[in-house]
Each structure stands twice: as structure tokens, then as C-alpha cells.
């Protein structure tokens, strides 16, 4: 059965890789007996045993450090951090140790580890809602992956597990397609369209650094990740009825970033809107805008527009959360501002 | 401990001491890159613990790692070349003093962030347990690291998973300038073991025999699958925290008191008086150490510098498994 939900696709990727390679081991909070706070590891401890699927204490430093130590000594660990916000507790192990150890040791070691973490705003206030990808893009030595569909999630996670470098794998909570155990996080899957491609049962991987053009177009380039990709697709559909044809690109991996696909698209359309759920300053939208400004400035017919969270923590009240998280309306407005000039 | 073993360990301690003294002179007499944290005074700890380790057993080291590196068996040529930031250094001139490590000898890095090697050691021990490889792991760290969260998270995890790891705390009294009793809630770091369900032992870190005996027991326990141990070695660093400071925060008589218990002098006396090792044999060891270090310095001097762009190849490994 093809996986129509990201949570299934990730589970399938983990099973395939664990079947294929004994060295793949899992650790994290509540991933074993409870099967993961978002159910990504459902059935895995039962199938692979407690020695291979480890429930850990609430110790993010120890989780990431243990993954690193295991990776240096012959295993290929996949660690789950329950919310990407909690990565802050394990920052030293991820950013000072895992990201740099091969570098500091002059290439004597490989670090084949994956750290998975959910991100994105779901009504849980400022410490459980962030999109922190820019922190890690800013740390050379880490690869950063952000899938937006079940198809991409499976293929990219398999590539991440086989990669000999530390990979941060960020999963949007509203794209999992499963409600959290608290039952309050609504799924956005029902509102998505055909670009939300299912993951087939058969074996495949997706290379890092290969952006995917999710919707071709000729007038405006939109670059977006995660759930913003789907909001951008919705905006593009509406705009096409007005005769504006958007090309919507999902970078899929922020490190390595497929600059070429983005630059080529802007050279064709002459307009760029970048959409992201992280904050504006020094964020992903800033980086992509800078890349295009450096390499395709004279192809631009209008200023670059960025749609991102203003420089604020995520507020709790739904009405305020919705106000700071980019919506389809914000994307429509940004596109129109670069088209009607 | 038989005579051959005793002579081997004595030579290692002397090699570490003389390596540090040579480096001190080199930093005084010529431009050397970076800085360093020296191990003089603590030799019995690295040597007494590593004496029980096989080549494929693992250690994690600290910012004060020269002694661990030599004790675990890394060649002095490659260590010295790294100090000179030469292409032939054990870390290809990418780490220097603070990250000095030879992975082929089971070193999982030396780290400049206090306490950060401890969780890595726990992960390596998990890997040994999972692979049923029979390997063990030693994590070296200072008493200052026991005030970092990483220490507590790592010991708890090792305790609950019963991992084959020995935590070796080198209590050298000062964290940089600060006497540990001014900033540490317990007199003995070893007492903290009980919080995590592990045995904790205090040992005289200036006495090679004692370190050797206690580390042997702890490693035996780890190899038999009986779980981790915290061993606190009471020791002293003779030099300042790093190259740039002279430890003005310590009284001279305190330093002299510790030096009276110097691990190398006392073990030398043991060799001569108890094992009846002839003076010329001891002299021969000292001589061979000087020759080895002459060779290491010459090798470092004659080695090529790295190319300015060499760093690029170390950011990421080539992709595939």
C-alpha cells in the first residue's frame, strides 16, 4: 500500500533501512513503547527489539551525544528529538561536536547520523511552535532536509540514513497527517492537493541538493518549504485563474541547496517570492533572496519579496498565531505586488 | 605488575612529561601556532588507565589531551606535527592542541567544550554493547566537567543502559583559576556516582599503582557487562590552565606539596628500590625518550605546511554508505 501520509512514509523508510542494514538503530524520547509522540516509530520496537529501538531519558544532550558516539563507532543512528525547539538543549552536541568532529580531526572519521525533529506552529505557544532550520543552515557541517510530501519524505529519509554526515531532518507537524496524542493538532492533509504525492512501496531514494519544481510556470518563481509549499501551490492555483502563472519550487534540502534550479527559474520568470515559516531576519528567505540577488539580479523585473514570520516568538492565541504565520493571502499579496508594477 | 610492564608504563609517563616540557620550550623560543593546555603532573592517570586498554577500545579526551593521546599509543611524530600545524599532523593541521586525537588508536576526539566528550563516550559504549564487540570505552574529563549538564545526562544514560564505559574524572583541583571547592557542592566528584546508580571510587591520581589497580577493576567490570564506574583521580596540574597564564591564583607552597608526590619520581624510586632496576637501565629509558622527541621535533619541522584550501575536504564526507 502506498503511504498517503508523511508519518507512514517515514515509518516505511525506517523499516526499509532497518531491514537493509543492522547498523541502523533508533533512539529518542517515547519512541519505543509509546511509538513516538507523532507515531513515526509505530511498531518498530515490537519488530526490531528494545536493543535497537531505545527509549531515552529526557536528555537531549545525551541523546544527540550518544548518537554521535554510536555513529563514530560503526552504527548509523537515527535520533528523534520530540520537538525541534528542544534541540536548543542539545545544541552543543549537534553544532559543536557532530557538525565539526570530522573537520577538527582532519577527516579521520565519518558521522553517519540523522536527527529527526518536528517543527511548525500548531497552537502550542512559543516553545513548541518554532521553525528553526536557519540555525542549522548557519552551522557548516550539518545537512538540513525539509520534505513536504510523503514521496519526498520517504526518499529523503532513506538518503539521510545512508549519508556519512550528520543530517538534521525536519518534519512539519501539520503535514504528518496524523493527529498528535493530545488530539488538538489538526491535520492539514485533507486540504492538500495532487502535489502531496504518496510514497510507493518500492525502493527508491532522492538525492540531496535536488530541488523539485512542484508546479511549472512562467511569470513568477515561488520558493517554499514544508507546509508553505502547499500554501504556495494553493496561491498559484488561484492566481492562474487570473492569468498569472507561478513556478513553485521546493528546495527539499536547504543544505545542500540547489541554487541552480532557483536561479534558472528566476532567469526565466524575472520575479521571485520566497515563503518560509521561520523568522525573517537572517532566515531561509534571506539566504535565498541573497543567492538570487548575487546571481540573477539583472534578470529581475521587480524587487524580491519575502513572506515569513515577522521577528517575533510564536504567540499562543489562535488568532495571533494565524496572524504571524504566513497564509495563502499573504502569498497572493506578495505575488501580486511583484506582478502588477 | 612485572618489571617489563613497569618499565613500559614508566617510559610512557616520562614521554608525556618530556613532550610537555619540550613543547613549553618550543613555545618560548619560536613562533608556535595557537595555544595549549599541558598535562604535567597528571601522567599517572592517562598511563595507568590506558595500560588496560586495547588498541580498538575507545577513549574520549579533553582540551588537555596530549597525555591521553600519547598514553593511548598515538605516534609522537604525528602529535608533534599537529602542534606545529603541519600537513602530517594526526589531525592534518585541522585540530591543533585542543583536538589532538588519533582515531586509528581508538580516540574519539579531544574537545574544547568542557564535558562534551562524556555523552559521546556513552554513545560509543552503546555501540559496543549493541555490536557485542567486547570493546570498552573510557571518558576522561576534569572535575570542572562534573558541573556541566552533559556529565549528569551522560552518567544517567550509561547507568540506566548499563553500558561498558568507565568515567575517569581527573580532579586537578582548579577549573581554570577557580578552586573546585568554591564552585562544587561536594568534596568528592565520585560521590555524584550514587545519583546515577553507579559505583564511585576516589583514587590517588599521583600514584600509578593505585590508578592502575582501580582502573583495572573498573574496566574489568565494564568488560563483563556489569556496567559503568566513576573513578575520581585526585591529581594536580603543575602548569597554568593554558599557555598564557602562570597560575598566580595558587600558593607556591601548595604546588610544592603536590610536586613532592610527583608520579614519575615516586614510580622511578619504586623501579630502583623495589624492582632493583639498574640505574643505567633507567637512564637508557630517559635517553630513548629524548631521542624519540628529537626525532618528532625534526619530523614536524621538516613536514610541509597544509595548503590554504585543504580545509574544504573535511567539511563533509563523500556522501555514500
- Cell numbers 550514587 label which residue? B194
Q: Kindly give, in sequence order, each residue whose CB lies less than 8 Å from that of residue B10, ignoring residues fewer than 6 positions away.
A: B264, B267, B268, B271, B282, B285
Predicted local distance difference test score (pLDDT) of residue B212 = 98
User: Mean pLDDT score of chain A, rounded to an integer?
Assistant: 95
pLDDT in tens, A151-178: 999 999 999 999 999 999 999 999 998 6
Residue B184 has pLDDT above 70, yes or no: yes
- CA of B48 to nearest chain A CA: how many angstroms apart? 24
Strand order in the sheet with B200-204: B58-60, B137-142, B165-171, B229-234, B200-204
Judge whether A253 is closer than 8 Å to chain B, CB to CB: no
> What residue segments make up the domains of chain A, in order of their start?
6-191, 212-339
Annotated catalytic, A202? no
Judge whether A65 is closer than 8 Å to chain B, CB to CB: yes
State the Cα torsion B36-B37-B39-B41 to the nearest 10°: 120
Q: Least CB-CB distance to B120: which of A59, A69, A76?
A: A69
pLDDT in tens, B186-219: 999 999 999 999 999 999 999 999 999 999 999 9
Q: Least CB-CB distance to B109: which of A70, A101, A163?
A: A101
Architecture (CATH level 2) of domain B3-25+34-66+114-300 = 3-Layer(aba) Sandwich (3.40)
pLDDT in tens, A51-105: 999 999 999 999 999 999 999 999 999 999 999 999 999 999 999 999 999 999 9
Q: Please answer yes or no on whether B94 and A110 come within 8 Å at the CB atom.
A: no
Please tell me which residue of chain A has the smallest CA distance to B311: A103
Q: Please answer yes or no on whether A163 and B121 come within 8 Å at the CB atom.
A: no
Architecture (CATH level 2) of domain A212-339 = 3-Layer(aba) Sandwich (3.40)
The complex's ipTM?
Answer: 0.97
Q: Please answer yes or no on whether B130 and A71 come within 8 Å at the CB atom.
A: no
DSSP run (H or E) holding A273: strand A272-279
Predicted local distance difference test score (pLDDT) of residue B246 = 83
Dihedral sign for Cα B251, B255, B256, B260, please. positive
Q: Kindly give, in sequence order, each residue whose CB lies less than 8 Å from that of residue B181, ignoring residues fewer than 6 positions away.
A: B187
Confidence of residue A192 (pLDDT cuts 50, 70, 90): confident
Question: How is residue B155 written as a grid cell?
Answer: 552518567
- Cell numbers 485533507 label which residue? A190
Predicted local distance difference test score (pLDDT) of residue A190 = 63
Average pLDDT over residues A8-35: 97
pLDDT in tens, B285-315: 999 999 999 999 999 999 999 999 999 999 9
Predicted local distance difference test score (pLDDT) of residue B244 = 79
Q: Please answer yes or no on whether A62 and B95 come within 8 Å at the CB atom.
A: no
Confidence of residue B321 (pLDDT cuts 50, 70, 90): low
DSSP run (H or E) holding B174: strand B174-175
Confidence of residue A219 (pLDDT cuts 50, 70, 90): very high
Percentage of chain A exceeding pLDDT 90 = 93
> What residue segments make up the domains of chain B, in order of their start?
3-25+34-66+114-300
User: Mean pLDDT score of chain B, rounded to an integer?
Assistant: 97
Angle at A153 between CA A134 and CA A282, to 5 degrees: 10
Q: How far apart are the first and last CA of chain A?
A: 49
Residue A184 has pLDDT above 60, yes or no: no
Does the fold of domain A212-339 match that of domain A6-191? yes
Residue A182 has pLDDT above 60, yes or no: no
* CATH of A6-191 among 3.40.50.970, 3.20.20.80, 3.40.710.10, 1.10.1330.10: 3.40.50.970
- Cell numbers 580545509 label which residue? B311
- Within 13 A of B9's CA, how many CA atoms are on the CB side? 29
Predicted local distance difference test score (pLDDT) of residue A194 = 85
Q: Least CB-CB distance to B122: which of A65, A92, A111?
A: A65
* Residues of chain B positioned with their CB less than 8 A from the CB of A140: 315
Residue B162 has pLDDT above 70, yes or no: yes
Amino acid at each position: 500500500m502506498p503511504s498517503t501520509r508523511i508519518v507512514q512514509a517515514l515509518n516505511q523508510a525506517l523499516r526499509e533501512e532497518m531491514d537493509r542494514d543492522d547498523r541502523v538503530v533508533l533512539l529518542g524520547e517515547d519512541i519505543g513503547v509509546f511509538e513516538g509522540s507523532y507515531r513515526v516509530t509505530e511498531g518498530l520496537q515490537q519488530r526490531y527489539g528494545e536493543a535497537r529501538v531505545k527509549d531515552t531519558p529526557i536528555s537531549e544532550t545525551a541523546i544527540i551525544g550518544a548518537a554521535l558516539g554510536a555513529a563514530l563507532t560503526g552504527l548509523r543512528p537515527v535520533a528523534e528529538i520530540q520537538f525541534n525547539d528542544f534541540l536548543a538543549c542539545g545544541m552543543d552536541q549537534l553544532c559543536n561536536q557532530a557538525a565539526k568532529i570530522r573537520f577538527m580531526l582532519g577527516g579521520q572519521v565519518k558521522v553517519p547520523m540523522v536527527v529527526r525533529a518536528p517543527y511548525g506552529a500548531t497552537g502550542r505557544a512559543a516553545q513548541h511552535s518554532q521553525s528553526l532550520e536557519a540555525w542549522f543552515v548557519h552551522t557548516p557541517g550539518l545537512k538540513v532536509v525539509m520534505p513536504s510530501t510523503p514521496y519526498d519524505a520517504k526518499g529523503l529519509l532513506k538518503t539521510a540514513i545512508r549519508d556519512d554526515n550528520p543530517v538534521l531532518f525536519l518534519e512539519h507537524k501539520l503535514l504528518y497527517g496524523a493527529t498528535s496524542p493530545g488530539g488538538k493538532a489538526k491535520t492539514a492533509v485533507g486540504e492538500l492537493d495532487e502535489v502531496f504525492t504518496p510514497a510507493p512501496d518500492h525502493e527508491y531514494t532522492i538525492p540531496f541538493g535536488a530541488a523539485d519544481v512542484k508546479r511549472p510556470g512562467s511569470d513568477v518563481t515561488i520558493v517554499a518549504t514544508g507546509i508553505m509549499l502547499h500554501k504556495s501551490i494553493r496561491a498559484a492555483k488561484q492566481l492562474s485563474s487570473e492569468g498569472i502563472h507561478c513556478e513553485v519550487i521546493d528546495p527539499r534540502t536547504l543544505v545542500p541547496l540547489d541554487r541552480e534550479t532557483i536561479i534558472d527559474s528566476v532567469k526565466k520568470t524575472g520575479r521571485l517570492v520566497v515563503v518560509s515559516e521561520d523568522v525573517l531576519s537572517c532566515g531561509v528567505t534571506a539566504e535565498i533572496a541573497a543567492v538570487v540577488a548575487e546571481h540573477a539580479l539583472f534578470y529581475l523585473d521587480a524587487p524580491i519579496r519575502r513572506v515569513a514570520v515577522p521577528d517575533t516568538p510564536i504567540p499562543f492565541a489562535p488568532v495571533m498565531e494565524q496572524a504571524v504565520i504566513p497564509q495563502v493571502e499573504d502569498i497572493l499579496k506578495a505575488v501580486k505586488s511583484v506582478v502588477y508594477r | 605488575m612485572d618489571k617489563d610492564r613497569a618499565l613500559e608504563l614508566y617510559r610512557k609517563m616520562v614521554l608525556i612529561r618530556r613532550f610537555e616540557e619540550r613543547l613549553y620550550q618550543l613555545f618560548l623560543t619560536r613562533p608556535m601556532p595557537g595555544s595549549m593546555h599541558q598535562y604535567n603532573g597528571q601522567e599517572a592517570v592517562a598511563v595507568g588507565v590506558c595500560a588496560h586498554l586495547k588498541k580498538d577500545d575507545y577513549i574520549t579526551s579533553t582540551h588537555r589531551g596530549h597525555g591521553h593521546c600519547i598514553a593511548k599509543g598515538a605516534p609522537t611524530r604525528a602529535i608533534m606535527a599537529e602542534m606545529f600545524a603541519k600537513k602530517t599532523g594526526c589531525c592534518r593541521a585541522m585540530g591543533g592542541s585542543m583536538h589532538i586525537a588519533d582515531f586509528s588508536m581508538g580516540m574519539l576526539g579531544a574537545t574544547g567544550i568542557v564535558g562534551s566528550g562524556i555523552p559521546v563516550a556513552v554513545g560509543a559504549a552503546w555501540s559496543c554493547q549493541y555490536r557485542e564487540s567486547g570493546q570498552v570505552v573510557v571518558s576522561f574529563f576534569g572535575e570542572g566537567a562534573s558541573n556541566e549538564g552533559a556529565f549528569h545526562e551522560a552518567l544517567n544514560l550509561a547507568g540506566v543502559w548499563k553500558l561498558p564505559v568507565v568515567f575517569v574524572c581527573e580532579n586537578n583541583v582548579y577549573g581554570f583559576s577557580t578552586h573546585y571547592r568554591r564552585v562544587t557542592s561536594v568534596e568528592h566528584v565520585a560521590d555524584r556516582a550514587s545519583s546515577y546508580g553507579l559505583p564511585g571510587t576516589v583514587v590517588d591520581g599521583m600514584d600509578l599503582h593505585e590508578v592502575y589497580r582501580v582502573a583495572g577493576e573498573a574496566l574489568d567490570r565494564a568488560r563483563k557487562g556489569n556496567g559503568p564506574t566513576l573513578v575520581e583521580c585526585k591529581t594536580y596540574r603543575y602548569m597554568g590552565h593554558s599557555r598564557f597564564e602562570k597560575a598566580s591564583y595558587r600558593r607556591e607552597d601548595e604546588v610544592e606539596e603536590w610536586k613532592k608526590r610527583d608520579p614519575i619520581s615516586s614510580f622511578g624510586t619504586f623501579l630502583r628500590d623495589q624492582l632493583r632496576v639498574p640505574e643505567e637501565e633507567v637512564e637508557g629509558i630517559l635517553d630513548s625518550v629524548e631521542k624519540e622527541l628529537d626525532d618528532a621535533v625534526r619530523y614536524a619541522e621538516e613536514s610541509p605546511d597544509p595548503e590554504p584550501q585543504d580545509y574544504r575536504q573535511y567539511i563533509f564526507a563523500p556522501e555514500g554508505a
